[in-house]
Amino acid sequence: MRQMDNMDQATDDWTARFPGLARLERRIRDHLLDRSHVTDLPEGSVIFGPGKSPENMLFLLDGAIRVQQVSETGREIVLYRIHAGESCVLTTACLLAYDDYSAEGIAETPVRAAAVPRDVFDELVASSPTFRTFVFAAFSKRITDLFLVIDEVAFQRIDIRLAQKLIELSGGRNRLETTHQRLSVELGTAREVVSRQLQEFQRRGWIAQTRGTIRFLDRTALERLGED
């Protein structure tokens, strides 16, 4: 499930890449670096999921992890992503063996992360105020993000959400390589709904579509729609 690569940790202070850990006490930081492993995971790795609890808490150095949920009905929805500079707090939730929730974390790109064993995590929370702040801030951010997801799923129109998601996923580029199916999972809706909305965007001259890619012809129009 996972491959571990030990690195020369003395020369690679990965904590510097985490804003919240920049001011970590020197002694603490050294302990953390000493007791953690930097790990590389290929794209598509399942970091955690039903029946797969990780033993370590991850601090993402590069890449992104997508956390999504599969409903009993088979439909899926993307809950959030963890990007470089963020930690995988859900792992701790998982570590605590809370009953089998259906969420899973998947490496969306090749991922490099620092793996911190559970006991080390606990020691750090106990001994470092800075680390505590970091951890609670991470939890808070997740929870408020989930509030936002709930708000959008419950109350936002699908055309608006789709426009927002297209802009978000494009990351500034003017084309997006994805399928209607994948977009429907992002929004927790049905593929046909996405297809129809994209047809409408195309009819309005905002995008052009070919199999597997969407080109933006009028990004501003999409952004306007996405602003409510």
CA-CA distances (angstroms) from residue 38 to 10, 17, 53, 129, 144? 12, 13, 19, 24, 29
Dist. CA 124–CA 120, nearest whole Å: 6
Q: Are strands 37-41 and 175-177 parallel, antiparallel or unpaired?
A: unpaired
202: burial class by Cβ within 10 Å (0-12, 13-18, 19+)? middle
Using the contact rule CB under 7 A, the part of the chain among 44-52, 86-94, 121-129, 195-203 near DNA is 195-203
**Maximum pairwise Cα distance, the chain:** 61
Using the contact rule CB under 7 A, the part of the chain among 11-19, 23-31, 53-61, 182-190 near DNA is 182-190
Q: Which does 99 bind (CB under 5 to 8 A by kind): DNA, a copy of itself, none?
A: a copy of itself
Q: Is 142 in the site for DNA (CB under 7 A)?
A: no
Q: For DNA, which residue of 211, 220, 227, 228 counts as binding (CB under 7 A)?
A: 211
Q: Is 169 in the site for a copy of itself (CB under 8 A)?
A: no
Q: For DNA, which residue of 179, 219, 221, 226 counts as binding (CB under 7 A)?
A: 179
Q: Is 43 in the site for DNA (CB under 7 A)?
A: no
Nearer to DNA, 37 or 196 (CB): 196
CB 170 to a copy of itself: min, Å: 24
Dist. CA 185–CA 75, nearest whole Å: 8
Q: Which does 96 bind (CB under 5 to 8 A by kind): a copy of itself, DNA, none?
A: a copy of itself
Residues 165/194, Cβ–Cβ less than 8 Å: no
Q: For DNA, which residue of 129, 199, 205, 218 counts as binding (CB under 7 A)?
A: 199
Nearer to a copy of itself, 8 or 228 (CB): 228
Cβ neighbours of residue 162 closer than 8 Å, sequence gap 6 or more: 183, 187, 194, 197, 198, 201
CA-CA distances (angstroms) from residue 218 to 102, 202, 215? 38, 10, 9
Pseudo-torsion of CA 64, 175, 77, 112, nearest 10°? -10
What is the sign of the dihedral through the CA atoms of 123, 128, 132 and 138? negative
Q: For DNA, which residue of 209, 217, 223, 226 counts as binding (CB under 7 A)?
A: 209
Q: Is 141 in the site for a copy of itself (CB under 8 A)?
A: yes
Nearer to a copy of itself, 4 or 150 (CB): 150
Binding region for a copy of itself (CB under 8 A): 69, 71-73, 75, 77, 79, 89-90, 92-93, 96, 98-99, 101-103, 122, 125-127, 129, 132-133, 136-137, 139-144, 146-151, 153-155, 188, 228
